[in-house]
Amino acid sequence: MDQLLLDPKRWASIKLGINMPARAERTIRKPEFELQLVGERTGEFYEVVIFFGIIVILQDYDITKKLEHAYKSIQYDPTSISAVDPKQYSRRFRDFIFKVFDEDT
């Protein structure tokens, strides 16, 4: 696996969700540091399988969402904000999924 990750020419063979290698290093958090986000490195590495889920909260695209979209569009790229028209949201989500997950060939 290390050779696969070190050789950029072989990165194309990695398909998210199919054969994506992952390693995690064990860390230890000290109890006296309550707010410590990442623990001290131990040098112990493990092969891991990562699972993830997609959560989409369905909300009505009512006047409040339309106002939110209008307000945020002044500050940010209108296509990048979360409060968008349902059809645009659905296209953006579909395009993202197709980009991230390769079709099984």
* pLDDT tens digit sequence for 37-91: 777 888 888 877 766 666 667 778 899 989 999 999 999 888 888 888 888 888 8
* DSSP code per residue over 16-36: TTTS---EEEEEE--TT-TT-
Q: Indicate the helix (H) or strand (E) that contains 66.
A: helix 63-75
The predicted structure's pLDDT at residue 19? 59
**Distance of alpha carbon 89 from alpha carbon 57, whole angstroms:** 12
* pLDDT tens digit sequence for 90-101: 888 888 877 766
* pLDDT tens digit sequence for 4-17: 556 666 666 666 55
The predicted structure's pLDDT at residue 99? 76
pTM above 0.75, yes or no: no
